[in-house]
Structure 1
């Protein structure tokens, strides 16, 4: 029975170390030992065999209980030497002998005892069948306790029976499920508990702890029969495990689908660079099979991907384009990091439809550029676009006005800009904001004459949701909200209706207003700049403009002179417009013929600078000789000058002198001061040019 047990060591049993099983030696015999010494040691330690060593303490044999009987039978004296009676071929086992060999040697030993030796063949212990069996029983009970603990912790019920249905093992969880005790097991048959048992099937059955899943399996008994094992698990737990298994399977399928289709190619390695996953498309590109690459080093199979650099450096990279079999590809190399340690790398390979991808990126870039353009344009509409450099003039009045306006820009006072249409009132408003402390804040323009009167109030103040029929469902914020923190430019303020003037006055005074249909008071911080081409004083006297609003607006006032009051600026502005429009129109106009310039100076310019720019643009479009000639000017200008009667001849003479002076100056500029060429350009002699220059003080 002992041999059978030793041969059928339970599978999975922990290996036993020989030093923990053997009996350590306290004494030993030598080749000089006597019968008396041997008998004394065997009696003292109850040993069946005692190791015998030579003078160097090397094992040479064993003195056994049989040796002792032979010496007694021959009635030898106690002083007799033991050497003729020892076993000279003892069973010896090194300390590192495998467990299975220990069992075989001890079982085959005649005395059932083996001698354990160290590396120097010196005896250090004895190993007996009893020692091994005791150790095995101890280990078996330990494993049984561990198995019981595992089964109980996992909430599994377990039962084992032989081919006759006799139950040999049942854990405590199983006993609870069926309301049994260990004593009850001898009277209960496995087949009574599980009448429909068959191998490998899952079934449901009721127990004291609720419905359970039952799985049966079989094993071969020592008698050659077929025994049963039943494992019981809670249905809810089993269903959860089954669901988790299905989730894992589904995720696996999804991952495989993603790997095969989401990327052109993908490869994953461990920390050593061994390939764990390689997608079919990648294998196709490199003409290898999946079986060939798994477990191999990535630098051997896919050296072009250079994944080892990521494993060494731990920094994600995107490669330059490479080429293989005429196919261009790029690689996104990504380290896999866990607990600040690199545990692998992923290579995402892009090689399909790269042309289409590039086209998409080009379209995306174009869209982004377009969006940025519109954003910039929107930003420009809400910010000042002009500075003092845009106001071009040599007129002393304008120069003084610019200096005064620059000082006014530093404050917070309301500014009223007056002047005829086209004189540049809006440029002054922009420039004042650009040089103020609010230059980085919004600059909002409202043309009071361009917006219908019934919409002007909602445009200024905004409205709440459902404030009136046709209103935006989400409401709307007004210009005052948009200008908060910045400047609000009220152009053509003289065209505002009286009811709206009253509300405007409240905002100017209190910086507060109500949205249309709203009850919440809105506070704003806005600086006001107003402009008009109408005589506000006359409108006040006629009752068409509120006097209190007029005085509220007229804190700092500037009157911009008309173009006919600053004739000297006509040539300066014309040059500026020509330089600007040459780039826009694609023309190459270099100047203005004197005859044309004299007509321009004589013209009264009701549209002021705006009209001048329009005339220059038209003339440049029709000019054919690189210079603007009289024929290129609008017909209405020529006709106006023809029909204009000048009662005051002196005034006419002065005007012609001014025109002549401007023409000479223009000719000298075009010829870089060469008077001969200037005279030729003007169509007069050099002496006549000198006389005119002296007369006109040029």
Structure 2
């Protein structure tokens, strides 16, 4: 056993000795090959004096007697040489173009060190005697730079807004009021909270606010909190330090706050966030700094936050499901885009706008829509709001051969119309508009819900399937008496 260990030790020493010899041989061989292949080689000592040149170098320099160059400062022999800089700094100059009279050489310069790492001289090589030999390399480098610049442009475009206020289509009073409030919000830097049902245009408003704000040239980063697993949200928000955990990228990863630095971060479905993450988000909003996962270093960020949710945050705060301090931090400017069923006056212009966009996207001739078809649209509840309307119109367009959508085209893709009032309560001779009938139906539904819950508006809103804020808006718009009912 001992003999085996000793044998291995002896073998190890032999390997080390062989490695040193091979390294020395490789160094000499490399220098010899470079001297043969290159257009010129010069070696200088620690004082940058010429100690050796190969036969080709003097020819390029026009030196008749090479021996006269030995021992002289390199600048006297090669006026534009940078060899002194190499031996003084110990840093190589890997690729350079050196002018000499009317000629130009492609050169590389390397320091020479002794066994202790001390710089004892330097060696310079003329790789090419004509820079045009570098054309393929330079061309490839230029292509790589152009590809990188193009990728960066595409990334920057992807992080810009897609919509402006003109994209929020509507001619009604409520629609115009929301747009005006959003325009005012765009001029400020305070957080914005957008509350509303799904499909009412919350993300569209967030894009529009950013595009009209002083931060329009900065990034717009959107995060759908409901779509990201809870375990990944912290890393998604704050980033990951290099090698923070097994499987983490060695280079680290920037979080959405860092990516949105100087711009806007849109937090969609913020009501789906856990309480633990809410606390970290609150600190980030207050201090404007993030701490990547696995790091002890704080990174300053300058981010404006726009949050949106279809949940009733006030009720969640009351139930302890959402932090009150975070709610007040986000709820500085509040926008409530109305649901589609409350803006029937916008249906015609919305339908025409969506039909035009759908046909262009599908590469089809633009399809119109009849007044009767618009009337059919007005009789629908639109629980999915504008998103549902867009889906219905797209399906209708793809299933018809007509140039104008009519009621029959819509009936194939829509449920039956809802009843807005019972025949018993509406005389046959009464002539009321559709908007009046809808308003009356809403009054009755709200009265019924309030009576059922003893005037408790939070519970009434829950029963009606709307937010508390939306209920207050309806009460004000409809002029309802909300005194407790018994």
- Classify the TM-score, shorter chain: 0.5 to 0.7
Match of 1:654 in 2: 433
Question: Which structure 1 residue ranges, 5 or more long, are not aligned?
Answer: 1-243, 253-336, 349-356, 660-698
Q: Mark the CA change 1:636 to 1:617 in structure 2 (over 3 Å): closer, same or farther.
A: closer
CA contact (8 A) 2:344 2:435 kept: no
Aligned to 2:68: none
Q: 1:473 to 1:375 in 2, by over 3 A?
A: closer
Does 1:425 find its partner at 2:202?
yes
3-state SS of paired residue (1:444)? strand
Native 8 Å contact 2:186 2:210 kept in 1 = yes
How far has the Cα of 1:636 moved from its partner? Answer: 5.7
What is the aligned partner in structure 1 of residue 380 from structure 2?
A: 603
The structure 1 residue matched to 2:235, chosen from 458, 461, 465, is 458
Task: Supply the distance in 2 between the matched residues of 1:513 and 1:247 (Cα, whole angstroms).
Answer: 52
Q: String of CA shifts for 1:601-633, please: whole Å, max 9, x gaps.
A: 111111111111111111111121201122322
2: CA distance, partners of 1:653 / 1:535: 34
Match of 1:502 among 276, 279, 283: 279
Question: Relative CO higher for 1 or 2, CA cutoff 8 Å, sep ≥ 6?
Answer: 2
Give the aligned partner of residue 63 of structure 2.
none
Which one of the candidate residues 416, 420, 424 is aligned to 1:640?
Answer: 416
Cα deviation, 1:194-228, whole Å, max 9, x if unaligned, reads xxxxxxxxxxxxxxxxxxxxxxxxxxxxxxxxxxx
**What is the CA-CA distance between 1:387 and the residue it aligns to?**
1.4
User: What is the rounded CA distance, in whole Å, between the counterparts of 2:253 and 2:152 in structure 1?
Assistant: 20
Aligned to 1:353: none
Instruction: Determine the C-alpha separation between the residues in 2 that align with 1:590 and 1:611.
Output: 18
Answer whether contact 2:240 2:294 (CA < 8 A) is retained.
yes
> What's the CA shift for 1:538?
0.7
Give structure 2 stretches of 5+ with no counterpart: 1-30, 40-98, 105-129, 439-486
More helix by share: 2
- Structure 1 residue 593: deviation in Å? 2.4
1:414 is displaced (CA, Å) by: 0.8
Contact 1:462 1:515 (8 Å CA) reproduced:
yes
Q: Could you tell me whether the CA contact under 8 Å between 1:564 and 1:605 is conserved in 2?
A: yes
Within 5 Å, give how 1:349-360 maps onto structure 2: none
- Structure 1 521/370 Cα, relative in aligned 2: closer, same or farther at 3 Å? closer
Distance 1:415 1:511 in 2: 16
Structure 2 residue corresponding to 1:576, chosen from 329, 332, 353: 353
- Residue-pair matches, total: 318
Name 1:516's counterpart in structure 2: 293
Question: How far has the Cα of 1:370 moved from its partner?
Answer: 8.7
1:560 to 320, 330, 337: 337
Q: Which has the larger radius of gyration?
A: 1
Assess, with a 3 A threshold, how the Cα gap between structure 1 residues 646 and 467 changes in structure 2: closer, same or farther: same
Q: Kindly tell me: are residues 392 and 250 of structure 1, through their superposed partners in 2, closer, same or farther at Cα, counting changes over 3 Å? A: closer
Judge conservation of contact 2:161–2:207 (CA < 8 Å) in 1. Answer: yes
Runs (4+) of structure 1 exceeding 6 A deviation are 244-249, 367-373, 656-659
Q: Which residue of 2 aligns with 1:482?
A: 259
Find the aligned partners of 2:413 and 2:35 in 1 and give their Cα distance. Answer: 87
CA RMSD, Structure 1 to Structure 2 (Å)? 3.8
Q: Which whole-Å deviations, capped at 9, do the CAs of 1:369-393 have from their partners, x for residues lacking one?
A: 9987754442233222221121221
Task: Assess if the C-alpha contact under 8 Å between 1:429 and 1:529 holds in 2.
Answer: yes
Deviation at 1:249, TM superposition (A): 7.3
